[in-house]
Amino acid sequence: MTLEQVSTWVNATRPTEDRLHRFKWLFQDERSSAGGRGSARIAPPDSLRFDVAGPFGSGAASAAVVGDQPLWAEPPDAVKKLVPNYPLMWAMFGIARMPDEGSALRGMVHGDVISWRYDGATDTVQYVRTTGKSGKLVAEVRHAGKVVGRAEATLDASGTPLAARLVVPTVPAKLNLTFLSTARAHFAPDIWTPRKP
Tell me which residue of 13, 33, 3, 7 sits closest to 139, measured CA to CA: 13
- pLDDT, tens digit, for every residue of 89-98? 999 999 999 9
Q: What is the pLDDT of residue 194?
A: 83
- How far apart CA 84 and CA 24 sit, in angstroms, is 19
Residues with Cβ within 8 Å of 188's Cβ and at least 6 positions away in sequence, in order, are: none
Whole-number percent of the chain with pLDDT over 70: 99
Q: What is the pLDDT of residue 154?
A: 97
pTM for this model (two decimals): 0.93
In this prediction, the residues of the chain whose per-residue pLDDT falls under 50 are none
Q: What is the pLDDT of residue 29?
A: 87
Q: What is the pLDDT of residue 132?
A: 78
